[in-house]
């Protein structure tokens, strides 16, 4: 009997396949279908602090600087009153979901100020969410702001929220750090129970006819998995924070690779938007079949089998692989 159960954020999940933050979570019927299809948990779409504060002057300033949208945004620079749902409706949606679902419900918060993050983190907790995902992306626009200042702000934010809420916290990161291992360690020490790698940062495109900045929202592909696998494998076994892989999971093989690298769970949205919610069942079946064929009886048994910490010197291992890749490419082009 194949045991697909896993643990994440102190929660026991029936499966490592988790529905990540997306427009799908706005509808209770979709959440119920995700549970029926086999999701181990669901992450709600983000509650943006801008939806709550609605300070026109601040909003105008943000939009004028071209801050990009995030993974669960359905449009570029969404009209805040129409995007998703307001705070009261969001919190009520969590309450209704908790009554209707047996699987864990994870809230998601995308804020801009420490006070705003803390207030709404509490409200999401009080609404009944089993855990909270902090979707952080601060975009420095001043030349004088260095990397350490940005990293310090992330860690202070996690520390402040950890001191005010009881439920587990996951931090969803983008891959743009000079030392990913160090910021991961610092966030864990600040109070993050898990790290979600990585946020898909949507960048604008230019319309050459109108000379305007236009939306450019595309679904992920399996090719994006490699960056996630790299850092999950590098962190697994070296940091006590749990790890979630998100971005690029489209096939059973993608999910399996994430678990072998060391992820507690693998999250997906694009595959469900492309293939429909029932596709989750096909992914689960594919994972179970692979495990049976390769004599794995549980997710726990296979997790981390390909993590980098099993190598004596990860840096040397990485450089050796880099040289091997370059050599193989050169050999192919001259054959």
What is residue 147's predicted lDDT score, i.e. its pLDDT?
A: 85
User: What residues are paired with 128 via a beta bridge?
Assistant: none
Q: Report how far residue 77's alpha carbon sits from residue 85's, in angstroms, rounded to the nearest whole number.
A: 15
What does the pLDDT look like over 12-36, one tens digit per residue? 999 999 999 999 999 999 999 999 9
Under 8 Å CB-to-CB from 203, ≥6 apart: which residues? 68, 216
Average model confidence (pLDDT) across the chain: 86
* Per-residue pLDDT at 81 exceeds 70: no
Cβ neighbourhood burial of 279 (10 Å; 0-12, 13-18, 19+): middle
SS3 of residue 75 by DSSP: coil
Q: What is the pLDDT of residues 185-216, one digit of tens each?
A: 999 999 999 999 999 877 778 989 999 988 77
Closest CA to 170 of 221, 272, 119, 246: 246
Most confident of 69-73, 78-82, 192-196: 192-196
| Residue 330, pLDDT score | 58
Nearest residue to 42 via CA among 15, 65, 62: 15
What residue ranges in 20-82 does DSSP mark as E strands? 41-43, 47-48
Predicted local distance difference test score (pLDDT) of residue 56? 35
pLDDT at residue 138 in the model: 73
- Token pair belonging to 308: 């980098």
Query: Would the pLDDT of 62 be above 70?
Result: no
pLDDT higher than threshold 90 for residue 6 = yes
Q: What was the pLDDT predicted at 216?
A: 74
Q: Is the pLDDT of residue 67 over 50?
A: no
Which range has the worst mean pLDDT, 101-110, 206-215, 305-314? 305-314
Q: How far is CA 138 from CA 67, 142, 223, in A?
A: 9, 12, 26
Which residues fall within 8 angstroms of residue 8, CB to CB, at 6 or more apart? 16, 18, 40, 41, 194, 242, 244, 264, 265
What pLDDT band is residue 117 in, cutting at 50, 70 and 90? confident
Q: Which residue has tokens 């805040």?
A: 80
* b/e per residue 237-256 (b: at least 16 CB within 10 A): eebebbbbbbbbbbbbebbb
Q: What is the pLDDT of residue 320?
A: 62
Q: What percent of the chain has pLDDT over 90?
A: 64
């Amino acid at each position: 009997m194949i045991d697909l159960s896993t643990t994440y954020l102190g929660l026991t999940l029936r499966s490592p396949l988790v529905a990540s933050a997306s427009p799908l979570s706005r509808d209770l019927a979709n959440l119920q279908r995700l549970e029926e299809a086999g999701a181990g948990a669901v992450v709600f779409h983000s509650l943006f602090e801008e939806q709550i504060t609605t300070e026109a002057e601040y909003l105008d300033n943000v939009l004028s600087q071209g801050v990009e949208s995030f993974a669960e945004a359905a449009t570029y620079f969404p009209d805040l009153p129409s995007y998703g749902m307001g705070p009261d409706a969001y919190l009520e949606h969590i309450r209704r979901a908790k009554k209707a679902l047996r699987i864990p419900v994870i809230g998601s918060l995308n804020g801009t100020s420490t006070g705003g993050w803390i207030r709404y983190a509490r409200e999401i907790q009080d609404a009944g969410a089993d855990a909270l995902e902090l979707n952080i992306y601060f975009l420095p626009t001043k030349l004088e702001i260095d990397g350490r200042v940005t990293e310090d702000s992330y860690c202070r934010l996690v520390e402040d929220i950890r001191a005010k809420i009881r439920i587990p916290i996951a931090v969803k990161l983008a891959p743009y750090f000079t030392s990913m291992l160090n910021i991961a360690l610092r966030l864990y020490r600040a109070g993050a129970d898990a790290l979600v790698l990585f946020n898909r940062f949507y960048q604008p495109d230019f319309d050459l006819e109108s000379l305007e900045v236009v939306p450019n929202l595309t679904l992920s592909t399996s090719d994006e998995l490699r960056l996630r696998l790299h850092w999950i494998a590098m962190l697994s076994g070296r940091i006590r924070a749990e790890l979630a892989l998100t971005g690029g999971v489209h096939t059973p093989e993608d999910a399996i690779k994430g678990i072998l690298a060391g992820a507690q769970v693998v999250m997906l949205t694009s595959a469900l938007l492309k293939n429909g919610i029932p596709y989750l069942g096909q992914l689960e079946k594919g994972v179970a079949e692979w495990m049976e064929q390769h004599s794995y009886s549980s997710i726990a048994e296979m997790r981390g089998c390909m993590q980098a910490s099993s190598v004596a010197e990860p840096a040397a291992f990485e450089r050796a692989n880099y040289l091997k890749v370059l050599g193989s490419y050169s050999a192919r082009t001259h054959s």
